[in-house]
Structure 1
Amino acid sequence: MNISDQLSLTAKQQPDKAAYIFQDKETSYQELEVAVTKFASSLKQLGYGKGDHIALVVGNSPFFVIGLYGALRIGATVIPINPIYTVDEMSYILKNGDVKGVITMDVLLEKFEHMDAAIPGIRHYFVGETGGNPDWEQASLSGKMKPFTNAVGAGSLELERPELNDEDTAVILYTSGTTGKPKGAMLTHRNIYSNAKDVADYLEFTNDDRVIAALPMFHVFCLTVALNGPLMNGGTVLIVPKFSPQDVFTISQERKATVFAGVPTMYNYLLQTGDDMEETFKHNRLCISGGASMPVALLKAFEKKFDVIVSEGYGLSEASPVTCFNPLDRPRKPGSIGTSIKNVENRVVDELGEEIAPGEVGELIVKGPNVMKGYYKLPEETTVAIRDGWLYTGDMAKMDDEGYFYIVDRKKDMILVGGYNVYPREVEEVLYDHPNISEVAVIGAPHRDSGETVISFVVSDNPDLNEEQVITYCQEHLAKYKVPTSVEFLEELPKNTTGKILRRNLREKITQ
């Protein structure tokens, strides 16, 4: 079974039930099923088939849902990409991911015009109309562009589906790595289906649930917990195009939402702007937090103000992503990521890979049907990440006597900005390309609104180079949330005797 086939089954069982609501328009499971089948048919007519890679570069919208399930239905591999990525970031993924087709939006066509010539393998751009670019059909890509709605309309309901195996790659999620370049985690149909099913069952999703999808759908947290999970058990997805506290309050109240999923930053914004909104979540049975450890003080304050329960969980792209959640059948523990979900095993081990006693700190490792089959075109990286069937997360954790896990520290040096992962090496690689920068180190610093912010320390032989110039340079090559908010110039970076940069010394500088 795979999620696209599951959608067909649900559409037969409850054809008239709302699958999703977007901008006050309800789309039933049967209507979604028809659109998915017809889009899949169009892709097939255009020569796409099993194993082809199709990028999904759209915001939270029906384009994403139909595009995802339609591509999967013909056996294509979907590569979701953050729409706010720069041309440099996006073109790398499109090239490395061997993408042949792109599902995108009219407002993003300018980016693709800049990179199309460098990526000759792309055959078509399926363009979703948002109204934000009325002249989009005049773009220089006209020979490759196809309106998304036309592609759906041109399809047939007579679709011969390919035979899909559980181990066929369904989705490739690009996540930054130690090399500074993103690496693609290959998730199979089994990975995607099993995690969506196990999460839906663990969180007790039913067809009565109305789940707010305000997290970005291209991120695996939203993809599994707020999209595939609810659709797996016949629920309704309430699509929020872009997170804003007011939009969440409004849709929660008007649509009587039962579940909200977000990162701690979102909860902080909702708490700070939620005056006179205490009744907003009165129909809500559960709030889900992930992406970063949620401060206990924030968790308690949010629960008290809105009279809801917040269940914290844990996951990573390589695990589709969820491995832990606080259980619903007994009191959750503030500060804990919960216990292992169904069919997934978590352990805390020492440097030799041996399981350690409760209360001791070690590396969290994971095993289950949700664990990726490897990194795309990176066999050596795969061997390092997966050993004897266990995925080594790189996160330091501990477990208590009742099987609850606690993250002690995030992956070494990773920075979390507004729920997005920023890996210092990726920013450093960009800065190292600057002709006047000889050394650089990037760290994270606490930030009241975004959780953390990016700080860079630079060594330059050009006395005229200033902070504004460095930041402007980064803005040309990095997504907004990865750009340093401040730059400090040093004569040299602190290092140990082997030449390794001492990041802890740099962190001490910003706390002084």
Structure 2
Amino acid sequence: MSDASGAALHRGAPCPFNLARYCLDQGAEADKPALLVADGPKGRIVETFTYGEMRAAVARMAGGFNGYGLPRGARVLLRVGNTSQFPLLFFGAIAAGLAPIPTSTMLTEHEVDLILADSGALLVVGDGSGAMPTHPGAARVLGPAEIAELERADPAEVSDTKAEDLAFLVYTSGTSGRPKGVAHAQRVVLGRRPMREGWLGLAATDLLFHAGAFNWTYTLGAGLMDPWSAGATSIVHLGERPPEAWPELLEATGATLFAAVPGLYRRILKYGAVTPRRFPSLRHGLTAGEALKPTLHRAWIKATGRPLYEALGMSEISTYISSGPLVPTRPGSPGKPQAGRRVCALPPDAAADAADQPLPAGETGILAVHRSDPGLMLGYWGLPEETAAAMRGDWFLTGDLARFDDDGYLWYEGRADDQMNAFGYRVAPEEVERALADHPSVAEVAVVEAKSGDVSVITAFVVLNEGATGDPDALGRHAACDLAEYKRPRAYVFVPELPHTPSGKVLRRALRT
């Protein structure tokens, strides 16, 4: 178990407590930039919102939402593209005591219909950039004209919500089953405080550039909630962002921190003109969403002279394991539990003796987070049985398999449902991927248990580095250096690219078919 040192986290919060107020009213001067919106390959700033302007805009949105007379906690489905309207609508709804649902514009009508039906949203806000529900039912649909009216409404006071009240819903990507709503309380923002030092290394003087779109919860959290609650400045880019443009974008904006998925860092190295003299203001990069391969980290440090700090998280708890300025990186591990968090590995077998007691260092089990963490979800929307099933005693089960070493670093062994069976042994795909990723020919690799005729075998899908030749025998010899025979792939498939979810995670399910 790792019960990280530092001040303990508590769910207690001032009453009333509202997430929007907490993020925007932490003492930043009214004329200090809160949000810089860039566009174009040169990173030209096209919009600037000071803290004073952001507070006023969110208050007007809240006033506009109040005009619809919805009860506190009513859901608002956001079908809005990557424009500055998105954060105004998101935080404006929360300020009004409503619960926004951020969604990707890439969703189909069918997916939107499912989310609307499941959430029971009473408002659907769309700007025409993505599919809208085909059967809105009792929900009222707002279009661009109504959004403009919200922006011009009379300002309203922030709702006197409580810390345990619903703040927003996010729907899981569905990589491990049917998408379901994750309900977060207003207090979730308090659960993000340990990230400032434990991962971000964030100060009020920072300019944090997030590579993601506004509607992604990684951007809403690390890109907006975290810098704003620290009085820092957030930067988001609206337009096309080819990988070769990022060095100039970082320089043009003067970003001191940069957040992205590992795949983007890899593409920046491949296509961008990167040297230690580029983007001199940048202190370090931040990465989450998928595992950071040691080879990529080493390549980034060699090319830029600056580290990458990784975080492990999930929709239900956000990021809770990380490296950072105060936690040295250890290749292959995402880091340690952030200060104040109670995280452990529990026995995989729920029927085992002392199944709710943490395992000692070195033993692999189900990664779990204590229910007292303020960042933990309220539950799965409308699914009380699934919510209860995710708990074991006082622990929330993440569904990940992991172990802690003697120094408290976590070693991720994959999702429990991603585990492969080899001759009766359970094998984590991440362990095999780590071994293969060190080969000089490999740019990216994903490992799954795939059908080969009538049997299933461990199969490695490999993206080669430019100019490299696919050689299964060479990869097999390389794997043999670090893996027991039963863990080694029996088949190698060379592909131009791996399938990814919209948030950047490798979609192993697509490789199994």
Contact 1:186 1:375 (8 Å CA) reproduced: yes
1:191-206 mapped onto 2 (5 Å cutoff): 191=188, 193-202=189-198, 203-206=200-203
> How far apart are residue 276 of structure 1 and its match?
4.7
Structure 1, 170-179 or 98-107: larger mean CA deviation: 170-179
Please give the alpha-carbon distance, in whole angstroms, between the structure 2 residues aligned to 1:384 and 1:339.
26
Distance 1:445 1:32 in 2: 48
Question: What is the DSSP-based 3-state SS (H/G/I as helix, E as strand, rest coil) of the residue aligned with 2:195?
Answer: helix
Q: What residue number does 1:460 align with? A: none
Shift in Å, 1:81:
1.0
Which among 75, 89, 112 is matched to residue 67 of structure 1?
89
Q: Which amino acid aligns with 1:124?
A: V
TM-score (norm 1): 0.74
- For the 8 Å contact 2:250–2:279, the answer to whether it is kept is yes
Check whether the contact 1:265–1:449 (CA below 8 A) recurs between aligned residues: no
Q: Secondary structure at the match of 2:316?
A: helix
* 1:308 maps to 2:306: yes
Q: Which residue of 2 aligns with 1:123?
A: 140
Q: How does 1:236-315 map to 2 (within 5 A)?
A: 236-241=233-238, 243-276=241-274, 278-315=276-313
Cα shift readout 1:52-101 (whole Å, capped 9, x = no counterpart): 10112233331121111100001101111111011111210111111122
Does the 8 Å contact 1:374/1:382 carry over to 2? Answer: yes
What is the rounded CA distance, in whole Å, between the counterparts of 2:345 and 2:509 in structure 1?
Answer: 36
- Report the AA paired with residue 166 of structure 2: T
Q: 1:8 to 1:349 in 2, by over 3 A?
A: closer
Equivalent position to 2:336, from 335, 339, 352: 339
* Cα distance change on mapping 1:266 and 1:68 into 2, 3 Å: same
Match for 1:412: what amino acid? Answer: D
Cα offset for 1:329? 2.0
- Offset of 1:29 from its aligned partner? 0.8
1:313–1:324 Cα contact (<8 Å) kept: yes
Give me the whole-angstrom Cα distance separating, in 1, the residues matched to 2:508 and 2:343.
36
Summarize the alignment of residues 23-422 of structure 1 with structure 2, pairs less than 5 Å apart.
23=38, 24=45, 25-108=47-130, 111-112=131-132, 115-116=133-134, 118-127=135-144, 146-153=145-152, 155-157=153-155, 159-176=156-173, 180-191=177-188, 193-202=189-198, 203-241=200-238, 243-276=241-274, 278-319=276-317, 321-351=318-348, 352-367=355-370, 368-413=373-418
1:326 deviation in Å? 0.8
C-alpha deviation, 1:246, in angstroms: 3.7
| 1:479/1:290 CA distance change after superposition, 3 Å | closer
Relative to structure 1, the CA distance from residue 45 to residue 257 in structure 2 (aligned partners, 3 Å threshold; closer, same or farther) is same
1:220 Cα deviation from its structure 2 partner: 2.6
Please give the alpha-carbon distance, in whole angstroms, between the structure 1 residues aligned to 2:72 and 2:250: 39
For residues 76 and 229 of structure 1, do their structure 2 counterparts lie closer, same or farther at Cα, with a shift above 3 Å needed? same
CA distance in 1, matches of 2:461, 2:347: 29
Kindly tell me: are residues 411 and 171 of structure 1, through their superposed partners in 2, closer, same or farther at Cα, counting changes over 3 Å?
farther
Between Structure 1 and Structure 2, which shows a larger proportion of helix residues? 1
SS at match of 2:162: coil
Shift of 1:348: 1.1
Distance 1:329 1:164, change over 3 A: same
Provide Cα deviations, 1:443-482, integer angstroms capped at 9, x if missing partner: 99635399xxxxxxxxxxxxxxxxxxxxxxxxxxx98999
Instruction: Return the offset for 1:302.
Output: 0.8
Query: What are the ranges of 5 or more consecutive residues in structure 1 without an aligned counterpart?
Result: 128-145, 417-421, 425-440, 451-477, 489-502, 507-512
- Shift of residue 49 of structure 1? 4.2
Change (3 A) 1:284 1:176: closer
Q: State how many pairs are aligned.
A: 415
Amino acid at match of 1:48: L
SS in 2 for 1:284: coil
* CA-to-aligned-CA distance 1:90-136 (integer Å, 9 cap, x gap): 2101111111222332332xx22xx34x1212213243xxxxxxxxx
Distance 1:487 1:80, change over 3 A: closer
What one-letter code is carried by the residue in structure 2 that aligns with 1:342?
A
Letter in 2 for 1:446: F
Whole-angstrom CA distance in 2 between matches of 1:485 and 1:324: 23
Q: What residue ranges of structure 2 are gaps of 5+ in the alignment?
A: 1-16, 39-44, 349-354, 420-428, 431-445, 449-455, 466-500
Shift of 1:45: 1.3
Deviation string for 1:247-295 (max 9, x for gaps)? 4323210111111111111111111112355433321112111111111
CA contact under 8 A between 2:18 and 2:158: conserved in structure 1? no
Write the deviation string for residues 409-458 of structure 1: whole angstroms up to 9, x where unpaired. 23423999xxxxx9x9xxxxxxxxxxxxxxxx9x99635399xxxxxxxx
Percent of residue pairs identical: 26
Distance 1:284 1:479 in 2: 26
Of structures 1 and 2, the one with the larger relative CO (CA 8 A, separation 6+) is: 2
- On the 8 A contact 2:21/2:158 being kept in 1, the answer is no
Task: Tell me the residue number matched to 1:454.
Answer: none
Report if the CA contact (8 A) 1:323-1:345 is conserved: no
Cα deviations across residues 36-63 of structure 1 (Å, max 9, x unaligned)?
0001101111223411101122333311
Which digits, 9 at most, give the CA deviation of each residue in 1:174-218, with x for residues without a partner?
115698421111110112x11332322433312211111212333
